[in-house]
A and B are shown apart, each in its own frame.
Chain A
């Protein structure tokens, strides 16, 4: 006498067996989709690869954001602030030079000593400041062109003063005074050299403002960038929990959860440091611009230590956090995958 047939509980991953003892063929049902037919091991391997990839992506994105923020800050607080200072100083020097040479002509000293030491020193210093400004220029092509143009006008100004001195030495006072007037016009008229320097300073300032308003320093613009890998990791973690529950009646993996926490910590660290650095840089620039009247470009500090998001300590901490998350994520999948290796 045969024993009764007891239907076996059907797992989504197993084919439905035929009824034992029946003389008919096995019940044919439509084939399950590929993801339902895939073995749990395969799923775990995919999920592990995805998780590790996303940790790597999160780490690289944090590195990218930190680097870009550092670059913007360095450009603005280093070169940009210096360029503004140099142009402003050149402006002051040229104004002083013009006054000095006019005084020299008025008193007649120019006939004995030429335009004078104050004029010569200030014009030379202004020329040097323009050269420095060219190196620190952050206003792009326009800034470079304007600096070159200013240097050309400065050369013409110097030539006119020199010509005036020569004509005065040749006793042509009328022509000398006219040329002094032409030089003064070149400096002070609408569109003259001082106007050009003013415009240049505004351009450099606008470039610095743009750098400090960059999206790399704006929390709203890159939060989604940094959080996207983490959110994807959450999805993969949910998928992992589903596989573990159905295969092993387990829900939470402590190691996987820890990996998520470390990744989130890395993102939070970089984002908060970047925002902090942006604020510090803006404060630095504000202070520099306010104090420029009293500081020469050589005296003014360069803000090389404003950026923390890309500092060696932050990079080391990031490496530890990302590395730790990767190790924990790998270790979270290992026991289950190891089980199936021995079963096979």
Chain B
């Protein structure tokens, strides 16, 4: 059909415009990237990156991992600019509560199968506003462990303590023989002092039980109360004397936590904390440390509570069933930007398959809060024994006190540890009263303790 030249030109322009719109030239393409901020390094980071590579291969989504030592500060800076990472691994329940309260963390309801998580994890995942899931534990750990060298113990005739008084006696005995019983490292800028907070938490938990522990964490039990004072004094009894800590207390303040036990358990005899903090996996020797020979552990002994069975010299009492609660920790992932790639990443990281891959990575030294991950998934006897403590239901699990407090109180707690170690006499005059002045989180604290069923669901 004939038409004017102008009409033909107009039709041609319209056709070009439609073609351009169809090819999407005029608008921005959807992003297939996701950024996750983590505070891991070394073998922990390597294990995580191996899990991420599998996710990238399966999904085609590109993941940008941002490791940082000052995660909270960097995250706060990004949030202030309105440009946070889509996902972040948060080690503190207090921080989760703060971010959820500010509306920065997005709910994860429906994204994760919460049935895979028993107490206390199931309650901690709901920290924040309402009854929404804001963060999911992807990497757990057991803090209530004391490490030692079985060979040294056998040679020295030391017995593994099953109670607090036995631990105190052992510590004094080592000192009397001219040794320094405790390896202690407290330097971890910008949160130096945090290993000491785990000590106080373990002592209070072992002495007074989960009920008093929960009240202390929630702020109901003041810092100046009898139980809290006693916990600090008991720690002081253990590490406060001149030679109790290898290198002296001053050296402990400057000993880097991230470098693991330094020196080894042959110079100082005992170390407190998680497996990954000891750094056995990164030490190559010669000879390389061997579990059961050059290092072993026993759970933090409860005060006055004897474990069933007699602990022979150089063997661990942990094989005997025990009822004492243990302190645990976890890194939780939360979502700051709700995007399809972020949801896909969270769905993957919290899946049982990803958790199994993660914990089985050699040297990862991490554990899963997912009760579908069997103990057999862990490589080696050390991780399997610790996983049993975490998942068997034989012990009540209590989340780390400092990590359950508000960020300000957590920081004050860290500093109080340093002050107490250098000025033990100031405990009741300065240290505890100053802690009392820091306002506790006014929101209702989640329940930080819980016990898994003793018969876990069969692995899928």
Contacts and interface: CB of A to CB of B under 8 A. Distances in A.
Nearest to A186: B189
A189 B192 CA distance: 14
A17 interface: no
Nearest to B76: A152
B258 to A, nearest CB: 10
A109 interface: no
Interface stretch (A171-179, A249-257, A304-312): A171-179
Contacts of A144: 81, 83
B77 interface: yes
A185 B189 contact: yes
B77 A148 contact: yes
Contacts of A160: 189-190
B189 A172 contact: no
Given A152-B73, A172-B423, A174-B250, A182 B83 contact: no
Nearest to A157: B190
A245 interface: no
B77 A145 contact: yes
A38 B422 CA distance: 102
A302 B37 CA distance: 37
A189 to B, nearest CB: 7
Nearest to B187: A182
A156 B190 contact: yes
A132 interface: no
A163 interface: yes
A34 interface: yes
A191 interface: yes
Contact of B253 (A151, A174, A189): A174
B76 A174 contact: no
A172 B81 contact: no
B328 to A, nearest CB: 27
A172 to B, nearest CB: 6
Contacts of A148: 77-78, 80-81
B190 to A, nearest CB: 5
Interface string B53-88: 000000000000000111001101110110100000
A145 B5 CA distance: 55
Given A149-B74, A181-B254, A191-B69, 16 more contacts: A34-B5, A144-B83, A149-B77, A152-B70, A152-B74, A153-B73, A156-B190, A160-B190, A174-B249, A174-B253, A175-B423, A178-B422, A179-B418, A182-B189, A189-B189, A191-B68
Interface in B83-125: 83
Given A34-B5, A191-B69, A181 B422 contact: no
Contacts of A182: 187, 189-190, 192
A263 to B, nearest CB: 24
Contacts of B83: 141, 144-145
B451 interface: no
B357 interface: no
B132 interface: no
A156 B69 CA distance: 13
A174 B422 contact: yes
A11 B249 CA distance: 111
A151 B70 CA distance: 13
Interface string A146-171: 00110111001000100100010000
B343 interface: no
B347 interface: no
Interface string B373-402: 000000000000000000000000000000
Interface string B241-281: 00000000110011000000000000000000000000000
Contacts of B70: 149, 152-153, 156, 191
A185 B187 contact: yes
A192 B249 CA distance: 25
B250 A178 contact: yes
B81 A156 contact: no
B162 to A, nearest CB: 34
Contacts of A177: 250
Contacts of A178: 187, 192, 250, 253-254, 418, 422
Nearest to A150: B77
Interface in A10-38: 34
23 contacts: A141-B81, A144-B81, A145-B74, A145-B78, A148-B77, A148-B80, A149-B70, A149-B74, A149-B78, A152-B73, A152-B74, A152-B77, A156-B70, A167-B419, A172-B422, A172-B423, A177-B250, A178-B187, A178-B250, A178-B418, A181-B254, A182-B187, A186-B190
Contacts of B422: 172, 174-175, 178
Interface in A173-212: 174-175, 177-179, 181-183, 185-186, 189, 191-192
B415 A163 contact: yes
A149 B254 contact: no
Contacts of A156: 70, 73, 190
Contacts of A191: 68-70
Contacts of A151: 77
Query: Which 6 pairs of residues, A with B, have the shortest CB-CB distance?
Result: A148-B77, A178-B253, A149-B77, A175-B422, A152-B73, A185-B189
A35 to B, nearest CB: 9
A149 B84 CA distance: 12
Contacts of B254: 178, 181
Contacts of B418: 175, 178-179
A144 B70 CA distance: 17
A178 B247 CA distance: 14
Interface string B15-31: 00000000000000000
A215 to B, nearest CB: 18
Contacts of A174: 249-250, 253, 422
A281 B253 CA distance: 52
Contacts of B190: 156, 160, 182, 186
A185 B254 CA distance: 10
B191 to A, nearest CB: 10
B8 to A, nearest CB: 10
Interface in B407-459: 415, 418-419, 422-423
A162 B83 CA distance: 31
Nearest to B420: A175
Contacts of A185: 187, 189
A149 B74 CA distance: 5
B45 to A, nearest CB: 12
Contacts of B189: 160, 182-183, 185-186, 189
A181 B68 CA distance: 20
A149 B73 CA distance: 7
A165 to B, nearest CB: 14
Nearest to A152: B73
Contacts of A141: 81, 83
B41 to A, nearest CB: 9
Contacts of A189: 69, 189
B376 to A, nearest CB: 37
